[in-house]
Amino acid sequence: MRTATRESAGGPAPSPGWCRLTPRRTPSGRSSLEMLLAPARRIDLGKRAGVTGGLLGVLCVVAEFCFLFPHVLVSNDGRAFYVEHLEVFRSILQVSIIATFLLGTFSVMTLRSKAHGGIAMVLALVALLLGGSEAEPLTHTPRAMSAGLDFFALDLLVLGLVFIPMERLWGLNEQKIFRVGWQTDLKHFFVSHVGVQLISFAVLIPVQVFLSWAVKLDFQAHVAAQPIWLQFFEILLVIDLVSYWVHRAFHTVGWMWSFHAIHHSTLQMDWLASSRSHLVDILVNRFAGFVPVFLLGFHPSAIYGYLVFVSFHAVYIHANVNHRWPYLRWIFATPEFHHWHHTSDDEGIDKNFAVFLSFIDVIFGTAHMPSHWPSKYGTTKFQPPETYLGQLAYPFKRHEETPYG
């Protein structure tokens, strides 16, 4: 089992020193500028620029197709919002295309291998040929369902811009941005976002068909009439109480663990690791969370507020950051709280099941937050395969007696 190198067991990371007037000296006596210009450092920066430019270039091309075929590729719920703020999104696309080309150029100039940088530059040119920031729709035929590529592109861009700098500033473990397994996690991210409507239909339709008899309209009207902020916290509590027991079942029932082990198979925690989940795991959790929300009849505004919150919170608690939140951690789930859930250290096994409200674990005796951080992550006996398709097939090939196989 590989473990990450840790700078410290907690506390804030050292100041990055951006306000210094003189170059910061390293232990070897070399300045930060000298280190930046060192050949090995230039090669590392060139690789990062090439890979980042390639990913950004893919997002630019995806955005171009969303502009060209909005009724096929853009989520129905977001289309009106995009039209209202069209110029803003055109500006974002233009800046992204320029950044892609510049990153690719830097990579080509820095590295002997021109592959990564060349791909980024080609993708920028493809985006321009597709219309750039002035692309117009080629079809106007409404569709009942869409691919939701806009959700994938925007969420990846926003989360990357927020959490990558956050992990650089307050990093818990020393690890690369493009660490082992990031390609697999990106595939999970893509499938869960592009398939969001299909997943939603797979959850909503059975609930509405089989539980419509339990709906009490008068009761639901009273629930929806409450202040939105109160409904938001009620949704958090209701869903987390249900999710807590579903989560415990995923850890204690052998065949359920086979699916959930995929999420725990990451050896290095960061913001992208939150996306690593088997589709069956996602469907079961979405179904379990939606049933009480459907039966209680919360207002759509409160539900949307919850969805926005959870989309950031779920990523944050997986992030490679050293944030401890000394008092709040016993009420709300924090990175420290959830990192202990992902550890393969003996002391952290079967602990911290709550998704948002850590006091639920306190009540049921499963909370664990010592003064130190976990030393390693992953499963304890064997690791599921690292490929995306291998992880999808894994639960159907192996069924263990023990939950931590």
Q: What is the pLDDT of residue 337?
A: 97
353 in a structural domain: yes
Q: What is the pLDDT of residue 210?
A: 74
Return the top range by mean pLDDT from 102-116, 168-182, 231-245, 296-310. 231-245
How many domains does one find in the chain? 2
Q: What is the pLDDT of residue 75?
A: 80
Helices (H), 18-114: 32-37, 39-68, 70-73, 76-84, 86-110
Structure tokens at 29: 């006596």
Of 105, 126, 127, the residue nearest 116 (C-alpha): 105
Q: Which residues are within 8 A (CB) of 167 and not within 5 positions of it... i.e. 6 or more apart?
A: 177, 270, 271, 319, 320, 321
Check if the beta carbon of residue 179 is closer than 8 Å to that of residue 268.
yes
What's the chain's average pLDDT?
Answer: 84
**115 and 260 inside one domain:** no
8 in a structural domain: no
Work out the percent of the chain whose per-residue pLDDT is above 90: 53
Average pLDDT score over residue span 180-196: 88
181 in a structural domain: no
Beta bridge partners of 173: 6
Check if the beta carbon of residue 85 is closer than 8 Å to that of residue 150.
no
377 by DSSP, 3-state: which? Answer: strand
**298 and 380 inside one domain:** yes
**323 and 196 inside one domain:** yes
**204 and 123 inside one domain:** no
Q: What is the pLDDT of residue 143?
A: 65
165 in a structural domain: no
Cα 150 to Cα 24, 72, 132, 268, distances in angstroms: 42, 11, 16, 28
Q: What is the pLDDT of residue 207?
A: 73
- What's the rounded Cα separation, in Å, for the pair 330 and 236? 16
Query: Does residue 373 have a pLDDT over 90?
Result: yes
Beta bridge partners of 171: 321
**315 and 370 inside one domain:** yes
**Between residues 215 and 373, which one has the greater pLDDT?**
373
Check if the beta carbon of residue 106 is closer than 8 Å to that of residue 98.
no
Query: Does residue 159 have a pLDDT over 80?
Result: yes
Q: What is the pLDDT of residue 382?
A: 75
Look up tokens 């064997």; give the residue: 382
* pLDDT range class, residue 282, cuts 50, 70, 90: very high
Structure tokens at 137: 């729709």
**39 and 134 inside one domain:** yes
342 in a structural domain: yes
**Between residues 161 and 29, which one has the greater pLDDT?**
161
**205 and 292 inside one domain:** yes
Return the top range by mean pLDDT from 1-10, 174-183, 214-223, 391-400. 174-183
Per residue in 69-99, pLDDT tens? 888 888 877 788 888 888 999 999 999 999 9
Of 11-20, 46-55, 318-327, 385-394, minimum mean pLDDT range = 11-20
Look up tokens 């050949």; give the residue: 39
* pLDDT range class, residue 42, cuts 50, 70, 90: confident
**104 and 247 inside one domain:** no
Longest dimension (CA), the chain: 74
Look up tokens 């016993």; give the residue: 330
Q: Is 398 left (phi over 0), alpha (psi -120 to 50) or beta?
A: beta
Last residue of a domain, one of 148, 175, 203: 148
Average pLDDT score over residue span 189-215: 75
Cα 125 to Cα 14, 66, 112, 119, 335, distances in angstroms: 40, 17, 22, 10, 40
Query: Does residue 400 have a pLDDT over 70?
Result: no
15 in a structural domain: no
Helices (H), 111-227: 115-129, 149-169, 182-194, 196-210, 217-224
Last residue of a domain, one of 96, 128, 148: 148
Query: Does residue 146 have a pLDDT over 90?
Result: no
Of 23, 53, 17, the residue nearest 37 (C-alpha): 23
Last residue of a domain, one of 125, 148, 171: 148
Query: Does residue 28 have a pLDDT over 70?
Result: no
Q: Which residues are within 8 A (CB) of 186 and not within 5 positions of it... i.e. 6 or more apart?
A: 272, 275
Q: What is the pLDDT of residue 116?
A: 82
358 in a structural domain: yes
330 in a structural domain: yes
**206 and 341 inside one domain:** yes
Check if the beta carbon of residue 329 is closer than 8 Å to that of residue 358.
yes
116 by DSSP, 3-state: which? Answer: helix
**222 and 140 inside one domain:** no
**248 and 376 inside one domain:** yes
- What's the rounded Cα separation, in Å, for the pair 102 and 104? 5
Q: What is the pLDDT of residue 4?
A: 38
- What's the rounded Cα separation, in Å, for the pair 117 and 108? 5
Of 57-71, 72-86, 172-186, 260-274, minimum mean pLDDT range = 72-86
Query: Does residue 20 have a pLDDT over 60?
Result: no
Domain that holds residue 140: 32-148
Q: What is the pLDDT of residue 12?
A: 42
**91 and 204 inside one domain:** no
* pLDDT range class, residue 148, cuts 50, 70, 90: confident
